[in-house]
Amino acid sequence: MSLIDNEAALSLMADYYEITMSGGYFDNGMSDTVAYFDMFFRRVPDGGGFAIMAGLEQFIEFIEDLKFTEEDIAFLRSKGIYSEGFLSYLKSFKFECDVFAVEEGTPIFPREPVVIVRGPVIQAQLIETALLMIINHQSLIATKANRIVRAAQGRSVMEFGARRAHGLSAALYGARAAYIGGCVGSSLTLAEKLYGIPAVGTMAHSWVQMFDSELDAFRVYAKTYPENCSLLVDTYNVLKSGVPNAIKVFNEEILPRGYRPQSIRIDSGDITYLSKRARKMLDEAGFPDCAIIATNSLDENIIREVIIQGGKVDSFGVGERLITASSDSVFGGVYKLAGIEKDGRIIPKIKISENITKLTTPGFKQVHRLFDKTSGKAIADVVTLHGESIDENAPYEIFDPEYTWKRKTVTDFIARPLHKQIYKNGKLVYKCPPVQAIKDYCESQVSTLWDEVLRLENPHNYYVDLSPDLWQLRKDLLNSNS
C-alpha cells in the first residue's frame, strides 16, 4: 500500500543520475549488459553491535507497481536530452532482474550484502534510490526500536511517534519497522488497519482540560470505557490530584461495573520518582495490578536509567526519538556495482578508496551465518562467492579480511545461507510473511546473538569474514588496480 497518490511519481522516484546513466547505457548499446549490484551498510547506528533488516515488503510493492506512464515520458522528453529510443524503452519498461535479499527481522552487520540485484544494467540502476530509501528507513527504525526494547528489559514498549514523523509514509512504515524491532503496538490507527499492529493509546491532556475538573474528566472516561480504563494523571499534579482522582474513579466507576483498571500514564516530571510514589499509592489502594505507563521524550538511555534507579514503570511509550531515530538518524546503506557479465562470464568489479571502509567487495556473493550447534549462538558471518558451500562436517577457519592474522577455527557448527531469492527474471518468487511473523522471527534471531554483541555501549565486534576464494579475488583485483 503506497501513500503516494500520484502513481507517476513512483517511476521517477530516482536520483537524476540514474536516469541520465540509463540513457547513456541505452544509447551506447549497453541496455542488455547484465550487472550485479550489492546493497550494504558500513556502520551500525548509535554504535550498536548489529542492525535489523526491514522494508523488503515495501520494496517489493515498489517493484510491482513500477512503470513509466505517458506523463513520465512527456516530462523526460521535455528535458531535451534523451533519445526517442531510450524513451520508447522506458515506455515499455519491464523489470526482469533477479533479486536476492536477507529476510526482514534478521540481524545484519556492516559490509555484508543485504540485497543483491542481478539483471540488465538499466533496470538494476533505476531501482537504486527506492531500494535505499525503503530499506535504509525501515532498517534504521527497526534497529532503534530493538535497542529501546532491549533497554526496557522485558517491559513493553509502544511506538507513539506518528505526530513527529517526517511525513505520512515515515509514520506508517516507521510504525511497521518499530513493531518488527520489538514494540508491542503503535499509536497510529492506520498501522492496525493495514498491518494488524495493535493500535494503543488513551487520552491527551486536552481531554482532561475539556471538563470542569480532572475528576469529572476521569469519571466520564471511565464510564465510557470501563473495560479498558487508562488515565493520564499529570495534567495538573501527579501525586496531589492525578493519582488520587484516578483511585477515586477506579473505586466508584470501574469496580462497580465488574472491571479492573488498566493503567495510569505519566507524561512529565521525574518519571523515576513519580512512578515510585504512584506505585505505592496504587498498591495501598488495592490496585497492584494497575500498570504505570511512562511517556515524555524517552529513549533507550533514559529508560535504562529509570530502571537502574528503581522506577516502577510497567510500559514505555516512545515517540519522537524512536520514529526519527534522532540520536543517529542516518542508516547509511549504499548500492554498489560488484560485477558485470561478458560472454557468459562474471567480470568482478571493485571500488577502491584510501578510506578502507569505502572499499567494496567484488563478485556475485552469498552470506552464510555460522551457528554453534551446542548453544545455538551465532559465531560469525562468512561472505562467499555465489555457489560456494561451507562444509559443516569439517573444521572451518575464519579470518579477519583486513587483519588476516586474526584467525579462528570453528567446529560443530551449522552454516545457514541468509539470502532468499525474491525475484527470478523479474517474476516474484517470494511470499512476504505477515508482520507478526516477522516480529517473532526477529526476536528469535536476536536471541541467537551473544550478550556481548547485544550491549548498548561498546558491544563486541561481531565477525563478518570473507571466504578464502572471495578474499583472494578481492586481493587480486586490488593488486591489478594498484
For residue 266, the domain's CATH number is: 3.20.20.70
**What is the average per-residue pLDDT within 58-87?**
95
Domain stops at, among 296, 317, 342: 296
Quick check: 4 pLDDT over 60? Answer: no
Within a domain: residue 252? yes
| Host domain of residue 221 | 202-296
**Model confidence pLDDT, tens digit, residues 106-127:** 999 999 999 999 999 999 999 9
Above pLDDT 90, what percent of the chain?
93
- Candidates 79, 93, 96, 99; CA nearest to 39 is 99
Q: What is the pLDDT of residues 18-64, one digit of tens each?
A: 999 999 999 999 999 999 999 999 999 999 999 999 999 999 999 99
Predicted pLDDT of residue 482: 61
Domain's final residue, options 244, 272, 296: 296
Question: Same domain for 57 and 111?
Answer: yes
Residue 481 banded pLDDT, cuts 50, 70, 90? confident
Is 136 within a domain? yes
Q: Is 39 in the same domain as 90?
A: yes
At 5 the pLDDT is 46
Q: Which amino acid is at 356?
A: I
The amino acid that residue 169 corresponds to is S
Same domain assignment for residues 339 and 447? yes
Q: CA geometry: angle at 84 spanning 83 and 90, to 5°? A: 95
Q: What is the maximal distance between C-alpha atoms in the chain?
A: 82
* Same domain (yes/no): 104, 51: yes
Contacts of 378 (CB under 8 A, 6+ apart): 107, 369, 370, 371, 372, 448, 449, 450, 462
The 3-state DSSP class for residue 400 equals coil
Residue 304: count other Cβ atoms within 10 Å of its Cβ. 18
Band of pLDDT at residue 355, cut at 50, 70 and 90: confident
CB 227 within 8 A of CB 260: no
Q: Residue 383's closest CA among 402, 403, 405, 361?
A: 361
Average pLDDT over residues 182-201: 97
Whether residues 342 and 455 share a domain: the answer is yes
Over the range 87-102, which residues count as b (16 or more CB within 10 Å of their CB) and which as e?
A: bebbeeeebebbbbbb
Residue 78 forms part of a structural domain: yes
| Beta carbons of 279 and 246 less than 8 angstroms apart | no
Using the CB atoms, write b or e for 384-401: b if 16+ within 10 Å: bbeeeebebeeebebbeb
Task: Give me the pLDDT at residue 1, please.
Answer: 45
| DSSP-assigned letters across all residues of 307-376 | HHTT---SEEEE-HHHHT-TTS----EEEEEEEEEETTEEEE-----SSGGG----SSEEEEEEEETTT-
The answer to whether residue 371 sits within a structural domain is no
Judge if 21 and 120 occupy the same domain.
yes
Q: Are residues 223 and 282 in the same domain?
A: yes
Q: Which of 243, 302, 237 is nearest to 271 (CA)?
A: 302
pLDDT of 2 over the 70 cut: no
Specify the number of domains making up the chain. 2
- Residue ending a domain, among 246, 273, 296, is 296
Residues facing residue 51 across a β-bridge: 108
With contact defined as beta carbons under 8 Å apart, do 168 and 362 qualify? no
Q: What is the pLDDT of residue 9?
A: 62
Q: Which amino acid is present at 52?
A: I
Asked whether residue 135 falls in the same domain as residue 74, the answer is yes
Q: Is residue 320 part of a domain?
A: no
In a domain, 38, yes or no: yes
Averaged confidence pLDDT in the chain: 95
pLDDT (0 to 100) of residue 480: 87
Question: For the segment 147-177, what is each residue's pLDDT rounded down to a tens digit?
Answer: 999 999 999 999 999 999 999 999 999 999 9
Note the pLDDT of residue 155: 98
Tell me the pTM: 0.95
- Model pLDDT, residue 216: 98
Tell me, what's the pLDDT at 91? 95
pLDDT value for 121? 97
Q: List the end-to-end C-alpha distance of the chain, in Å, as a whole number.
A: 48
Question: Cell triple for residue 238?
Answer: 501527579
pLDDT (0 to 100) of residue 392: 95
For the chain, the residue count is 482
Say which range, 3-12, 310-319, 425-434, has the weakest mean pLDDT: 3-12
Closest CA to 44 of 457, 471, 450, 335: 457
Residues 355 and 447 placed together within one structural domain of the fold: yes
What number is the average pLDDT over the span 241-264? 98
Q: What is the mean pLDDT of residues 81-105?
A: 97
Query: Within this chain, do residues 229 and 132 fall inside the same structural domain, yes or no?
Result: no
